[in-house]
Amino acid sequence: MKHQFIKVAAASPALKIADPAYNATKIIEIIEQQSEKNTELLVFPELSLSGYTCGDLFLQQPLLDGCLSALKRVAEATKGKKMLVFVGLPLAHDGKLYNCAAALSNGEVRGFVPKTHLPNYNEFYEARYFSPAPEGTSWHRLGSGEGDGAYLSAELVFRDEAHPEVAVGCEICEDLWAAGSPSVRLAARGAVIIVNLSASNETVGKREYRHKMIAAQSGKNVCAYVYAAAGECESTSDTVFAGNSMVYENGVCLAESKPFSGEICEAEVDVGFLSNERRRINTFRADPENGDWLDATFVTENDLTLRAVDPMPFVPQGEGERRERAEQILQIQAHAFARRLKHTASRTAVIGVSGGLDSALALLVTCRAFDILGKSREDILAVSMPGFGTGIRTKNNATSLMQALGVTSRQIPISQTVLKHFKDIGHDPAEMNATYENAQARYRTMVLMDLANETGGLVVGTGDLSELALGWCTYNGDHMSMYAVNCSVPKTLVKYLVRAEAERLGGRVEIVLKGVLNTAISPELLPPDEEGNIAQKTEDIVGPYELHDFYLYHFLRRGDSPAKTLYLAARAFAGKYDRATLKKWLVVFYRRFFAQQFKRNCVPDGVKVGSVSLSPRADLRMPSDASAALWLEEAENL
């Protein structure tokens, strides 16, 4: 299994009602096609061997016998293939008739899963023909030979022999809609993938409701959900079926076959992420001892061919969704800071404005917070503190932004004071080392803190999530504040928030913010070059933020190993970075992340806005002296 991905598919064959031989032929054709694509888990709709809309024909022995013969043909077609296949059929067992899913692998019927919840409120009235799943587990004979048969139970879980973490449970159509869905029990017993053989008819609004149901089921069960829907070849006497199949993973839709399209729904499921998520969420209750486990062989070593890997996982893809998400985040930041200002009865907010993106976002959030409280923006004290490396462009950005937002602005040059400090501590200013840089950052923080004391206010932190992850901040300098509004906003998202606020405010503010958006990222602690250009570009030193944000997301949110992270990065950034560059910055990421934990263990309060936070009080409990050896060894040897 390559990096713990499993290829799954849901197909709706062009069947004939009550013609199992014909239907088996069509199912076998799809099995052969999907085998060529290295599909490992293939699901067909409810009663796919007979057709769902047979009505009273389900009570006819010829149809039941024909379905068993067809089942054996389909099972034989799986021989020699690494694939687990689910098909539906009516099955007579111990004097009752059950609506069953049959699991097939390597030429054998591995088990029968009967439907638990039978609808009796609609035009299909399944309870007229079928019985609900019986209690316990029994053996269904398929021939006269010893062992020629399979277990029948609604509690069966099918797992790969070589990869037992890949476990599959099954429920049928109405089981999903019922309050006591079998999938809840099956997931607790270890099924990380749930398949649903369904025959949900198409009516106005049902597709949307179906999405909500499957999203919720896959999310609360922390599983993948493969839903195979009956198609338009079913009888249309009273209803129509659209073949609207779907694949979800932990509440997120990976793939969908559009209604009436005849498409096969294909996706690649990240079993590793689901397993990691179940370990992380302690409300997920595992009960593996009570399951009926059956082995099969279906996992292969496929490369990803379908799954899109988002290069910016913190940033929504669609423009409309980005705007909506930006507004939501800005509201969270502003309301959180407004609450802190109100609680501390602060008269002012003090913020250092550099002319860069992070301080621009923090100032915009602060203005929102003051607007929420009905406080005058004149009580926001925005301070520009030009130093050795401050360029004309960023200085103008800072001044223009403060004026456009109507806050109180001050400019306090720091160069002469820092030079005096160098003399006090015996540092040669010609030596532009860490002391040269950090002294500026710490003095700026001291100025802000003292101004806050002087005006009865709070110092607003401007540092973002990406800087915290890399430790790209000066300890007790820009590392410290009285409330950090940006602390869980990654660098790749900051510019979208600034752009969204620029568009909302318009006018002079928008013009200024566009200039900020086009300014290179830099701490500006080293003097400009001879032409006055920024000499210290952050991404030249620590690496591209888009890579580090990608690595951070896959490390903390997905729980991916270095090898898996590099594999996914190569897909996400294909054509932009070569493998050597991706590996170089991946090693830098692990080295810096572990080495800089001591800074994160004493960060100020700040609001969490997304799924990843580095606060020791929110998400990350990690010792400052933890070794990175395991991660670095794997990354360096890739």
Q: Which of 7, 40, 46, 174 is catalytic?
A: 46
| Alpha carbons 166 and 300: distance in angstroms, whole number | 11
Contact 58, 98 (CB under 8 A): no
Check if 367 is active-site. no
Type and span of the H or E element at 273: helix 271-280
> Roughly how many angstroms between the first and final C-alpha of the chain, as a whole number?
18
Whether residue 366 contacts residue 402, with contact meaning beta carbons closer than 8 Å, is answered with no
* Active-site residue identified among 26, 81, 115, 495: 115
Residue type at position 628: A
Q: Are 392 and 362 in contact (CB under 8 A)?
A: no
Q: Which two tokens stand for residue 612?
A: 């990843």
Phi and psi of 475, rounded to 5°? -60, 125
Question: CA-CA distances (angstroms) from residue 407 to 380, 398, 520?
Answer: 5, 12, 25
The Cα 31–Cα 54 span in angstroms is 24
72 is annotated as an active-site residue: no
Query: Is the distance from CB of 55 to CB of 64 less than 8 angstroms?
Result: no
3-class DSSP assignment, residue 210: helix
What does the alpha-carbon distance between residue 506 and residue 504 come to, in Å, rounded to a whole number? Answer: 6
Distance CA 484, CA 461 (A): 4
Concerning whether 81 is annotated as a catalytic residue, the answer is no
Question: 173, 223, 233, 487: which one is catalytic?
Answer: 173
147: alpha, beta or left? (left if phi > 0; alpha if psi -120 to 50): left
Provide the β-strand partners of residue 167. Answer: 159
The catalytic site residues sit at: 46, 115, 173
